[in-house]
Homo-oligomer: A and B are copies of this chain.
């Protein structure tokens, strides 16, 4: 297990049969499984596969395009840490939900706050109590992607910006949002690839997990 977490399958370009085979191997080793970028078609095939194996834990999230399946007798997952996923608009939800699913699979406590983009300047401050105190924040935004800079000004934890390709015209498939986040004047904002919900969630979860462990096992 790399980085303290079982492998995640990047589903794009892999046939459902290949994914099922990898999952079977991981499940046999008692690993909880996650695959990202799974289309509806592949999900149907995977669902059929795990139905035939009588594994009732298989589940597809069509918003996040993720597929999850646990070993038959996996014990309930103990939750740890605290990450908030914040979106600028409803169109950013699919990417944000890939982050949320990743965090959930890592066993992190996740809270999500949607549609608090800068166009409504009173919306974000109104929800401060919900995200101040997070171990890390995943901030998902397209278009001008001003949100991470503003969130970064309110908190003293790492803010991981996930630019999305939401928008049209001069947003150039997410370049506008990516450049905006890279040039953020807030010192606690860092950036991952365009639409990389998985990576944003993974990094936030890694930070929260380590903080949780440090709190449990003091030096």
Contact = CB atoms under 8 A, between A and B. Distances in A.
A171 B167 CA distance: 19
A211 B91 CA distance: 34
A3 B187 contact: yes
Contact of A158 (B155, B163, B178, B206): B206
Given A3-B188, A169-B194, A182-B191, A146 B118 contact: yes
Contacts of A155: 3
Interface band, chain A: 35 or more
A144 B2 contact: no
Contacts of A167: 183
Contact of A90 (B2, B14, B187): B14
Interface in A1-44: 2-4, 8, 12-14
Given A3-B187, A211-B214, A169 B196 contact: yes
Interface string A114-140: 000111110001000000000100000
A113 to B, nearest CB: 16
Nearest to A123: B153
Contacts of A156: 2-4, 206
B168 A203 contact: no
Contacts of A158: 158, 203, 206-207
Contact of A183 (B149, B153, B176, B182): B176
Nearest to A179: B176
A145 interface: yes
A186 B118 contact: yes
B192 A146 contact: no
B188 A190 contact: no
Given A145-B144, A191-B192, A169 B176 contact: no
Contacts of A178: 169-170, 182
B150 A150 contact: yes
Contacts of A191: 182, 190-192
Given A179-B179, A190-B192, A210-B157, A149 B146 contact: yes
Contact of A170 (B13, B182, B206): B182
Nearest to A160: B190
